[in-house]
Structure 1
Amino acid sequence: MDCAISRKKDSGAIFHMPIVSSDMFLGSILRTIEVKEGNSTKMLEKYHTDLSLVLMDDSTAQDLVCNACIRPINSPPYYTCGAHSQCNFLLHKFCVDLPLSIQDFLYTSVTKNLISPRLDEFFSLFRCCSCKKYCNGFGYVFGGSDSIFVDDVECSFAPRVIKHDSHKHHPLILTDTSSGIESWKSCCGKSCFYGYCCGLCNFTIHIDCARLPKTVAHKFDKHPLTLTFASSNSTDIDDICEFCEEDIDSKYWFYHCAQCDQSFHVKCIPSQGEFSKIKFGGSVKVPCHEDHPLTLARMMNLGSQRCGYCHEIIKGFKDGMALHCQDCDFWIHFYCGYRSCHGNISPPYKVYTL
């Protein structure tokens, strides 16, 4: 099969987790990939059609997010749009080298093709088959443009074998767990299509939980929060999440600050929540509010608002999306913005281009 990607024969790397940085981890994986010559040019031509992307070496820029993998750009070099100052289209240098097609990491006879959000459709997004998170970045699709089976960039390049501090005795192997495993008692208790399994023990963790960083930051605590694994002896509710003020079940992983004795659900960490693979900040004009553009906002750190379209409450301090007019403080649900533009129908999980 003439596929645009293959693992280097001599790589054979076993990645040790938890990771330190999501973008550094993805970059280290992609550097073990052999990419066909000229692939970078094809990427730039296909997904930013005015050919205005320029390579930047600015180490002072902050709060940059890659449009492909939806991960922070913490260091140069990276690509940015040089034609339009308001474009905000950015790519890691290693994401420019993403192959246009890959073989599935488990079913190697299956080819997956790179897709990106439609540039003319603000509401483009899909739900990743592997981690179940919503994403408006690039992805790899099984089959044609009408397929609902899409993996985001990060999940598409998940390593086959890892060693994880939560199970130090044996390596864990990436496995199709869509049948035979009802729950994920080792990490979060939820079901998942792919996971890392120990062939010798009854131990399995999510593909997404395996990638949780060793430490994270949260504005409610001045110290780094440390990933805390489930206690095999604990079956009770042991703590309260400082963010949502709901119970933390210590059978599952959470983040903790030992200095302040504060704990947080994984889902309450902005960089790890359900909408952590959405790039926020883009703007769109919708028919129900034609005077000003609306900006895509994340509700995780915002209070509740009243939707100007359906007049229901937009729940605040919950991980979700909404559209906000900064000029007149007008708010609508994300899906109400879609309905305003496309009629009174629910938005699709995917609107993208091959």
Structure 2
Amino acid sequence: MVFDDGSEETIELLNNSAFDVIKEAKLGDNIVIPTEIKHLSHPHNLIFSNDVKDGKYCDGCVLFILTSFYHCAQCDFFLHKSCAELPRKMYDWRHRHQRPLTLKLHADFFCSLCVFLFNNCFSYDCNVCEDRDCVRCIQFSDTPTCQGHEHRLFIYDKYEGQCNGCGNNLEYAYACKECNFALEYNCLMLPDKIQHKCDEHPLMLTYVEDNIYSKYHYCDICERRRNASRWFYRCEICDNSVHKDCVLNAYSYMKLGKTYTAKDHPHPLTFTRNVYDYPPECRICEEHCEDLSAECLENGCNYIFHWKCIDPYRNDILQRLMWRPKGEDKEVHD
């Protein structure tokens, strides 16, 4: 609840939209939606659409476009309707400083909650500390739902049991009051659809193994066995199934094709993700550049380096990961 006490903070929260309406249309008797908007994150007007585009991701949250969205008719820019409607300032009930967080568009940032790195997308910044939260985390509800379960989940500070997504032993859980179902935060935040170099098609998060024959329960990346009762990612077209941990890492939400300016190179560098070894080698570690790299695309210039070799957030990521609960090493991965 916001109290109108006349303060600058209250005035900002009362005038909190991140876009101006250019055009709107009436749907039914009482529903009016903006069909064209001017959003603070983009120089051009954005047009509303329900025609979902294959392979397009949101420039606000970096997730695939699977629902209604706004897009730019002049350039390749997309926002989920829900991301376009995010307020300029909002509170996060989990943040240690109970001050409004501010919507920003950053070239790159490290999310203090989910421990992923993002580039060229929205974050909510704390004006007291240097914490930045991604859109996925800021939209998180205290009574969340997930597609793998029909009921709402509730927070339990003390919980005894296993995560239905990965099998880790839980102490802090999001659990169902009606049935024996619980998840850790990391599994609850898994994207429904993700792109990975192991397959030319997007992979879909899968909750149930249709094939009951154990000989098929292998990961097509690490070639180790999978636990058929645990969540995994799958390409139905290629019939590939993989552990979630084999496709997700700290850089899974970095946008390819975006540019980066290095201090010691005169040309802009472009984020690329390479599948196979190829020359030239990384200018820093001198290994062949696989996975996420920053590469100069100027003709005749072979400058390239692994992003992990210069990642300014790498120490923060490692420190945060040390506090995450670890599952036991098993022959069959969960």
CA distance in 1, matches of 2:52, 2:177: 46
Q: Does 1:98 pair with 2:86?
A: yes
Q: What amino acid maps onto 1:140 in structure 2?
A: Y
Segments of structure 1 that go 5 or more residues without pairing to the other structure are 5-33, 339-344
- Could you say which residue in structure 2 is the equivalent of 1:161? 143
Q: Percent identity?
A: 23
Over 3 Å counting, the alpha-carbon distance change for 1:140 and 1:258 in structure 2 is closer
Conserved in 1, the CA contact under 8 Å of 2:293 and 2:307? Answer: yes
CA distance in 1, matches of 2:2, 2:47: 33
- Could you say which residue in structure 1 is the equivalent of 2:294? 323
Point out the structure with max Rg over C-alpha.
2
Conserved in 2, the CA contact under 8 Å of 1:237 and 1:249? Answer: no
Q: Does 1:147 pair with 2:130?
A: yes
| CA displacement 1:42-71 (0-9 Å, x = unmatched) | 9967545xxx22123686976443322112
Q: Does 1:132 pair with 2:107?
A: no
Conserved in 2, the CA contact under 8 Å of 1:105 and 1:157? Answer: no
1:181-220 superposed matches below 5 A = 185-189=163-167, 195-199=173-177, 203-210=181-188, 212=190, 220=199
Query: SS of the residue aligned with 1:53?
Result: coil
TM normalised by structure 1 equals: 0.59
Query: SS of the residue aligned with 1:95?
Result: helix
Which residue, out of 244, 257, 260, partners 1:281? 257
CA distance in 2, matches of 1:145, 1:284: 27
Q: What amino acid maps onto 2:293 in structure 1?
A: A
- Could you say which residue in structure 2 is the equivalent of 1:239? 217
Conserved in 2, the CA contact under 8 Å of 1:297 and 1:322? Answer: yes
- Could you say which residue in structure 1 is the equivalent of 2:46? 55
Q: Which has the higher strand share?
A: 1
Conserved in 2, the CA contact under 8 Å of 1:77 and 1:93? Answer: yes
- Could you say which residue in structure 2 is the equivalent of 1:334? 307
Conserved in 1, the CA contact under 8 Å of 2:159 and 2:171? Answer: no
Over 3 Å counting, the alpha-carbon distance change for 1:81 and 1:336 in structure 2 is farther
- Could you say which residue in structure 2 is the equivalent of 1:66? 58
Over 3 Å counting, the alpha-carbon distance change for 1:192 and 1:293 in structure 2 is farther
Conserved in 2, the CA contact under 8 Å of 1:187 and 1:209? Answer: yes
Q: Which has the higher contact order (CA 8 A, sep 6+)?
A: 1
- Could you say which residue in structure 2 is the equivalent of 1:227? 206
CA distance in 2, matches of 1:35, 1:208: 33
Conserved in 2, the CA contact under 8 Å of 1:237 and 1:248? Answer: no
Conserved in 2, the CA contact under 8 Å of 1:186 and 1:203? Answer: yes
Over 3 Å counting, the alpha-carbon distance change for 1:45 and 1:158 in structure 2 is closer
Give the Å deviation of 1:197.
1.6
RMSD: 4.9
Alignment length, in residue pairs?
288
CA distance in 2, matches of 1:217, 1:140: 25
Q: What amino acid maps onto 1:294 in structure 2?
A: L
Give the Å deviation of 1:294.
1.5
